[in-house]
Amino acid sequence: MKKFIARFILFSAIAALLIAALSANYAKSADGNFVSVIRLKHERLNSFKGPRVMFAGGSNVAYGIDSREIEDSIKLPVTNLAIHAGLGLDFMLSELKHSARRGDFIFLSPEYYLDEGRYKLDEEAADSYPEARKYLRTLAIKDFPTFIDNIIEQLKTNKDYLFDKISKKIFGAKKETTLASITSFNEYGDVVAHLNRPAPTIIKDKKAFVYKYWDGIQKINELAQYASENGIHLYFVFPTYSRNAYNINKAVIKKYQNDLVQNLKVKVINSPEDFVYDDSEYYDTVYHLRKNAREWRTQKLISIIKPYTTL
């Protein structure tokens, strides 16, 4: 029995060391490289004195507005803080709480039913911008599945990284076609690399929602209280969404809208229909606008927010 226990302990130790070695953070994921832009966004945000305008949310905002055009119109400095829905609502709200100051204007536009996101992606953002460590949620025992998911995700990243290195060694460097890069953004924080590219044939993330009361409402209300106490102007904006996906989910979105209007402690300044466009106007997902619709949304967004940004 003692021999069995000793062998079991030895085997477990070897297995743990092997997993630790294989899952070490040798490389960032493609999304991790994308979220490293957080540092540049905050450098821009912190360069301004006086009231600032911040747009926050997932990639529906990152891909879907022209911040320079908005800035020229409302005559206030604009920073698009949005990067990726995978960072999660908790990270985004904490980022806003730590970044906003008295007199700032925040327009929050999360994707539908945005959840807590991927913790590993949050960590990768913090690797690029150490200040973002303040935005990370504290993991508890109940979050053990998150810890396991992080290990699995890092194993996949390491595999992709190794395969890419070997491929380049054997076949030579290949032309980079991904948008998952810090260079996809302009100085205002908008993704612009896709604007002149042909759209893929398939739009991803077209799924049917199941109605539930969104737990994000309470989380936003906590930020709303902080904003109210500190002279920060916070508003909620519904995201853009492709027409077919919207039609599939119209009934659920209506209930979602009612929940927000009745329970959110910040002003909801538009309706879900405002930024719905034909599927042909989307780049690769139901949230990523192409060039023309990005301009249409920007113009409409300016008309919506202008009354709320008058000093």
Asked if residue 2 is part of any domain, the answer here is no
203 Cβ partners below 8 Å, 6+ apart? Answer: 242, 279, 282, 284, 285, 286
| Alpha-carbon gap, residue 201 to 135, rounded angstroms | 37
Asked if residue 100 is part of any domain, the answer here is yes
180 Cβ partners below 8 Å, 6+ apart? Answer: 30, 31, 33, 34
Nearest to 237 by CA among 283, 303, 292: 303
Helix (H, G, I), strand (E, B) or coil at 234: strand
Give, in degrees to the nearest 5, the angle at Cα 261 between 95 and 256.
Answer: 80
Q: Domain residues for 134?
A: 26-308
The per-residue pLDDT for 143 is 43
285: DSSP letter? B
Asked if residue 212 is part of any domain, the answer here is yes
Asked if residue 1 is part of any domain, the answer here is no
Distances in whole angstroms, Cα of residue 283 to Cα of each of 78, 97, 192: 24, 31, 12
How many distinct structural domains can be found in the chain?
1
Record the tokens describing residue 296, joined without a space. 């249409």
| Alpha-carbon gap, residue 127 to 29, rounded angstroms | 12
DSSP 181-226: SGGGB-TTS-B-TTTTSPPPS--B----------THHHHHHHHHHH
Asked if residue 21 is part of any domain, the answer here is no
Question: What pTM was estimated for this model as a whole?
Answer: 0.82
Read off the pLDDT of residues 14-59 as tens digits, 9 standing for 90 and up.
Answer: 654 554 444 445 445 555 688 999 999 999 999 999 999 999 999 9
Asked if residue 295 is part of any domain, the answer here is yes
pLDDT-based confidence at residue 200 (cuts at 50, 70, 90)? confident
Asked if residue 20 is part of any domain, the answer here is no
Read off the pLDDT of residues 81-115 as tens digits, 9 standing for 90 and up.
Answer: 999 999 999 999 999 999 999 999 999 999 999 99
The CATH code of the domain that includes 178 is 3.40.50
Asked if residue 15 is part of any domain, the answer here is no
Exposure of 237 in the CB half-sphere (CA atoms within 13 A)? 30
